[in-house]
Amino acid sequence: MAIVSVGTDLVQIERLGEALERRGERFLRRVFTDGERAYCEARNRPQTHYAGRFAVKEAVMKVLGTGWSGGVRWVDIEVERPENQAPAVVLHGETARIAEEKGIRRVWISITHDGGLAMAVAIAEG
């Protein structure tokens, strides 16, 4: 398999926390899946984990080369975290179709957070 593309993103945790407070439930429903929300809310600092997942979604959009256009929806890029395993991305809907069209078979991710920042790297494998 070959690397098709790479995307990264960096999010200020405090700024995402402010967006969560300001926009509330509407923002959460638009951006995060039920599974992502359950994972984040079960943590001591939910905003840190929301910021990491937001960074993943942005990094994956860069990998796809679409940004927020072309039918890509935030909730169609889902970060799963199986117990005792690294986080993984699952693509749904139009986003999955776009990835398939571009020859992307899998997207590998890494998430980190420190010093008030959350960062994600996405690597598309074809």
How does 5-34 read in b/e, with b if 16+ C-beta sit within 10 Å?
bebebebebeebbebbeeeeeebbeebbbe
Residue with tokens 């995307």: 7
Domains of the chain, by residue range, sit at 3-125
DSSP assignment of 53-120, as one string? HHHHHHHHHHHHT-TT-TT--GGGEEEE--TTS--EEEE-HHHHHHHHHTT--EEEEEEEEETTEEEE
pTM score, whole prediction: 0.95
Q: What is the pLDDT of residues 2-57, one digit of tens each?
A: 999 999 999 999 999 999 999 999 999 999 999 999 999 999 999 999 999 999 99
Lowest mean pLDDT, pick from 61-70, 92-101, 113-122: 61-70
SS3 2: coil
Q: Does domain 3-125 have CATH number 3.90.470.20?
A: yes
